[in-house]
C-alpha cells in the first residue's frame, strides 16, 4: 500500500521537482517508509512507500524494469506464483516485491496481465519506448485512482489533495455531488467526487495516455457478468464446501506479508469467520485482534467479541473512543478522507487504525464485502421475494414465515425502506433552492430485480464504494494496509452465481456462510441475525450533547449560507428535542460538511 502521483504537461514543459516533492509530501501518510520521484521532460511520477513485501531498499519506487517505470499502490497477493510463471518465460527479478511482477507481466501478457492478478491495485506504468502511460484499477475499486485531464495537463493521484501540489491548480465544488451527500448521504456512487473536474478511474477499468498525441483512452477490462455462471456443484453441501475452499484460499493469500499483521474483529459473522479461517490455516500461530466497543450502549458488541475471543484466544485490544475524541477528530478525519464523512463510525474506525499502527502492525484483515455478496442486508429481502414469486411462488409463504419468526422487526423495516426507495425524492427545505440541482442531473439508483442484481448494484453504486473509500483513507492515514478476503474476485464471482436460496433461507441472510462456519464459531455468532455494521452510539451522543451539535451546525450554516437555508437550525433543534432519530443523519452531515469546509473543503 502506497501513495502515487503522476503529472504530464501537455505543453511539453518539464515538471518542476518541487511539484512532485509537494505531491509526495501531501501523500506522506500513505507511505511512511520511503519516497521516490521520476522525471522525464513533461512527465513526472512520485511515490510514497509502505513496505509490506521485501522491506529492503530494493522495493523503492518509482521502480524501473527493462523499459518500464512503475508506481504502484496495492497488493498482488499471487505475485509469487506469477513470478514463477514469468521466470519460465525468461524474466529475471531483482527483488521479492509484488511491484516488480507488474511490468514483467505487462511485458509478457499485455493488458491481459490484469486478469491474472489476484489483489487490489492502482498503478501507472510508463513505457519509455512507446511514450505511453498504462494505468489500471482493480476489479472492484478497492484502491483509489483519481485523475484530471484538461487542456493543460493529465494528472493522477491516490488522493484528491495531492492535486493541490500542481502550480496554479484551482479547485471548485461539484454542487451536484455535494447536494447528494447532504440530502441523501451518498458518496463515491459515481466517477465524480466533490472536486468538480477530478474523476475516479472506474473500478475494473484501465487507461492509456499517449504523451505524443495527448490522448486519454479509458476502457473496461473486467465485466463481472461475464464471470457469472451456474455453479458446477449440484447440491447445497457441495456448494458450501466449494465456498469454504474459496474463502480459505482467499485468506491464505492475504496472510502473505513481510510485516506484522492483525485483524479487525467486530463480533459480527464476517470478521469472526476470517479469524476462524486464519486460526485453521496457522494453527498455533499468534492471533492479534482489535475491536471497537461501547459498553453500556445499544452499539456495544462486547458480548459477541468476547464469545469469539474465548474460543480462539487472540491477543485482543478493545478500544472505546469517547464522544470527546470523536468530535475532536472530526476535522482530521475529513482531511484524510478529502470529503465530509457520513457518520461518527468513520472517526471511530480512524481511531482504531491509529491504535493498530501504534501497536506496530502494518497489515490488517477485516470482513468488508461479505454483506454485499452474500445478501447480508435487509434490502435483499424484496428482490429475494420478487425472485421467488416469479420462479417458485410455492416457497414464498415459508420464507416470509421464517423471516417473521426469526427477526420480527425486519419485515416492517424492509417494507418502509422499500416504500422510501420507490418514493420520488424531494429537495429538503433546509437547503437553499438555488443549491438544488435539476432532477435530470441527479444520480438514479437502478432497480433490483433479483438478489444478484442487488449485489451488483451494491458493489458498484450506493453501497460498497463509499465503504471502500472510508476503509482506504482511514487505514492509509495511519500507514496500515487493509485487506479484504471477501473481495477476492473468485469468491465474489462464485457468490453472485449461487442460487438466491443459498444466501437467504428461512428468512436467514448469509445462510451459506453460517452453514460453512458451523462448528468453527460460537452459536451466539452463527445465530446473530441483526446487522449493526461498524456501530457507534451516535444517536445517544447527539441526545446527550445537543448543544455541541447545534453550535457546530450553526457555524456550518453561517460559513456556507449559499448552501444551507435558515430553516436547518430550528428543524435540527426540534428534532433533537423530540428525539426524531430519522433526522439525526442529516444533522451529522451538516456538521461534517461544516468541518470539511473549515479545513479548506475541496482545496484541502
Distance CA 218, CA 206 (A): 6
CA angle 231, 236, 238 (to 5 degrees): 70
CB of 351 within 8 A of CB of 372? Answer: no
Distance CA 219, CA 58 (A): 33
Backbone angles phi, psi at 272, to 5 degrees: -65, -35
Longest dimension (CA), the chain: 72
Of all helices (H) and strands (E), which one includes residue 25? Answer: helix 17-26
3-state secondary structure of 89: coil
Instruction: Report which of 89, 28, 30, 99 is spatially closest to residue 64, judged by C-alpha positions.
Output: 99
Look at residue 120 in the predicted model and tell me its pLDDT: 98
Look at residue 602 in the predicted model and tell me its pLDDT: 78
Distance CA 133, CA 69 (A): 9
Sketch out the chain's domains with CATH numbers.
Answer: 2-221 (3.60.20.10), 226-374+464-526 (3.40.50.620), 381-441 (no CATH), 538-603 (no CATH)
Distance CA 37, CA 44 (A): 7
Residue 601 falls in which region: left (phi positive, over 0), alpha (psi -120 to 50) or beta: left
Look at residue 262 in the predicted model and tell me its pLDDT: 97
What are 296's three cell numbers?
Answer: 453500556
Q: Looking up cell 462448528, which residue turns up?
A: 519
Residues of the chain with pLDDT under 70: 1, 406-425, 532-533, 604
Distance CA 377, CA 430 (A): 30
Distance CA 481, CA 147 (A): 22
Distance CA 498, CA 236 (A): 10
Distance CA 251, CA 244 (A): 11
- Please report which residue ranges of 477-567 form alpha helices under DSSP H: 489-497, 500-503, 511-516, 523-526, 538-544, 546-559
Look at residue 474 in the predicted model and tell me its pLDDT: 97
Instruction: Report which of 602, 597, 575 is spatially closest to residue 586, judged by C-alpha positions.
Output: 575
Look at residue 413 in the predicted model and tell me its pLDDT: 60
- In angstroms, the Cα distances linking 24 to 7, 481, 543 are 12, 18, 42
Q: Looking up cell 480462539, which residue turns up?
A: 312
Dihedral sign of CA atoms 512, 515, 521, 523 in order: positive
Look at residue 412 in the predicted model and tell me its pLDDT: 59
CB of 137 within 8 A of CB of 463? Answer: no
Q: How far is CA 295 from the centre of its chain?
A: 27
Q: In what order do the strands lie in the sheet with 215-220?
A: 63-65, 68-76, 119-127, 132-137, 205-210, 215-220
Of all helices (H) and strands (E), which one includes residue 454? Answer: helix 451-460
Q: Please classify residue 131 by burial: count the beta carbons closer than 10 Å to its beta carbon, then call 0-12 exposed, 13-18 middle and 19+ buried.
A: middle
Distance CA 383, CA 501 (A): 12
Amino acid at each position: 500500500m502506497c501513495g502515487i502521483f503522476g503529472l504530464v504537461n501537455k505543453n511539453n514543459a518539464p515538471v518542476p521537482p518541487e511539484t512532485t516533492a509537494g505531491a509526495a509530501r501531501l501523500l506522506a501518510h500513505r507511505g511512511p517508509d520511503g519516497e521516490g520521484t521520476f522525471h522525464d521532460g513533461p512527465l513526472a511520477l512520485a511515490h510514497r512507500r509502505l513496505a509490506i513485501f521485501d522491506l529492503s531498499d530494493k522495493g523503492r519506487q518509482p521502480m524501473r524494469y527493462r523499459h518500464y517505470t512503475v508506481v504502484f499502490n496495492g497488493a498482488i497477493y499471487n505475485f509469487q506464483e506469477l513470478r514463477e510463471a514469468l521466470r519460465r518465460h525468461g524474466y529475471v527479478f531483482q527483488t521479492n516485491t509484488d511491484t516488480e511482477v507488474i511490468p514483467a507481466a505487462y511485458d509478457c501478457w499485455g493488458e491481459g496481465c490484469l486478469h491474472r492478478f489476484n489483489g487490489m491495485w492502482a498503478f501507472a506504468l510508463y513505457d519509455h519506448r512507446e511514450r505511453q502511460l498504462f494505468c489500471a484499477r482493480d476489479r472492484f475499486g478497492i484502491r483509489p485512482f483519481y485523475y484530471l485531464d484538461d487542456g493543460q495537463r493529465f494528472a493522477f493521484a491516490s488522493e484528491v489533495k495531492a492535486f493541490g501540489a500542481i502550480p496554479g491548480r484551482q479547485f471548485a465544488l461539484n454542487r451536484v455531488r455535494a447536494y447528494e451527500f447532504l440530502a441523501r448521504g451518498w458518496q463515491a456512487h459515481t466517477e465524480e467526487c466533490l472536486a468538480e473536474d477530478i474523476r475516479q478511474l472506474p473500478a475494473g477499468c484501465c487507461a492509456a495516455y499517449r504523451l505524443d498525441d495527448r490522448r486519454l483512452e479509458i476502457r473496461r477490462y473486467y465485466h463481472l457478468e461475464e464471470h457469472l455462471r451456474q455453479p458446477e456443484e449440484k447440491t447445497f453441501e457441495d456448494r458450501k464446501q466449494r465456498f469454504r475452499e474459496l474463502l480459505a484460499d482467499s485468506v491464505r493469500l492475504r496472510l502473505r506479508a513481510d510485516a506484522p499483521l492483525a485483524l479487525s474483529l467486530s463480533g459480527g459473522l464476517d470478521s469472526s469467520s476470517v479469524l476462524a479461517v486464519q486460526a485453521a490455516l496457522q494453527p498455533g500461530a499468534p492471533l492479534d485482534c482489535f475491536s471497537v466497543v461501547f459498553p453500556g450502549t445499544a452499539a456495544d458488541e462486547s458480548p459477541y467479541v468476547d464469545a469469539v475471543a474465548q474460543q480462539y484466544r487472540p491477543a485482543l485490544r478493545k478500544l472505546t473512543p469517547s464522544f470527546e475524541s470523536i468530535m475532536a477528530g472530526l476535522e482530521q478525519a475529513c482531511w484524510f478522507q478529502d470529503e465530509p464523512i457520513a457518520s461518527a463510525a468513520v472517526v471511530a474506525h480512524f481511531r482504531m487504525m491509529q491504535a493498530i499502527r501504534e501497536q506496530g502492525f502494518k497489515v490488517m484483515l477485516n470482513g468488508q464485502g461479505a454483506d454485499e455478496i452474500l445478501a447480508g442486508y435487509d434490502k435483499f429481502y424484496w428482490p429475494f421475494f420478487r425472485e421467488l414469486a416469479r420462479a417458485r411462488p410455492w416457497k414464498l409463504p415459508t420464507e416470509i414465515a421464517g423471516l417473521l419468526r426469526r427477526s420480527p422487526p425486519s419485515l416492517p423495516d424492509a417494507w418502509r425502506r422499500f416504500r422510501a426507495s420507490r418514493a420520488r425524492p424531494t429537495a429538503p427545505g433546509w437547503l437553499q433552492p438555488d443549491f438544488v440541482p435539476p432532477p435530470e442531473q441527479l444520480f438514479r439508483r437502478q432497480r433490483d430485480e433479483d438478489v444478484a442484481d442487488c449485489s451488483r448494484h451494491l458493489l458498484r453504486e450506493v453501497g460498497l464504494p463509499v465503504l471502500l473509500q472510508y476503509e482506504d483513507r482511514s487505514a492509509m492515514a495511519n500507514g496500515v494496509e487493509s485487506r479484504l478476503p471477501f473481495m477476492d474476485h473468485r469468491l465474489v464471482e462464485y457468490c453472485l452465481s449461487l442460487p438466491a436460496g443459498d444466501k437467504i433461507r428461512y428468512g436467514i441472510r448469509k445462510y451459506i456462510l453460517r452453514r460453512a462456519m458451523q462448528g468453527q464459531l460460537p452459536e451466539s455468532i452463527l445465530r446473530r441475525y441483526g446487522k449493526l455494521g461498524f456501530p457507534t452510539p451516535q444517536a445517544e451522543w447527539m441526545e446527550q450533547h445537543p448543544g455541541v451539535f447545534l453550535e457546530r451546525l450553526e457555524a456550518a450554516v453561517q460559513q456556507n449560507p449559499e448552501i444551507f437555508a435558515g430553516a436547518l437550525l430550528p428543524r435540527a433543534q426540534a428534532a433533537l428535542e423530540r428525539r426524531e432519530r430519522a433526522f439525526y443523519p442529516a444533522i451529522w452531515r451538516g456538521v461534517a460538511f461544516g468541518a470539511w469546509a473549515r479545513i479548506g473543503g475541496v482545496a484541502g
